[in-house]
Structure 1
Amino acid sequence: MMALGPHASFIVVAYLATVIVVLGLTVWIVRDYAVQRRILNDLESRGIKRRSQREDRA
């Protein structure tokens, strides 16, 4: 392992904090995506369509 000098503990803690934050954000995004898909599927099952799927009324 490389020598990190007198600030080794700070460097290690900073990297660990970064990893924890990035993993937390990733989990949050994946869970939110699942919730949004569930809400969208519920709306579509009730007959509410997306604007992008509507036929143009010209």
Structure 2
Amino acid sequence: MSIALGKYAAVVLGSYAAAILLLMGLVGFSLWRDARMRRALEAVEARQRKTDG
């Protein structure tokens, strides 16, 4: 399937590229934040286990 974009090809393809990059950035940020929060939670739980004895 081929779509003829004519003179708008650069704008449309640029928009698709920008959207894909933004989505990849959001996914990457979410994964990074999840890992950071998981490490922080593990540290807090380890501290609690230490004090609870």
TM-score by shorter chain over 0.5:
yes
The answer as to 2:20 corresponding to 1:14 is no
**2:48 aligns to what SS in structure 1?**
coil
2:42 maps to 41
Number of corresponding residues = 48
Match in the other structure for 1:29 = 30
Task: Determine what percentage of the aligned residue pairs are the same residue.
Answer: 29
- Give unpaired runs (5+ residues) of structure 1: 49-58
CA RMSD of aligned residues (A): 1.2
TM-score by length of 1: 0.77
Higher relative CO (CA 8 A, sep ≥ 6), structure 1 or 2? 2
Q: What letter corresponds to residue 15 of structure 1 in structure 2?
A: Y
Structure 2 counterpart SS, 1:46 = helix
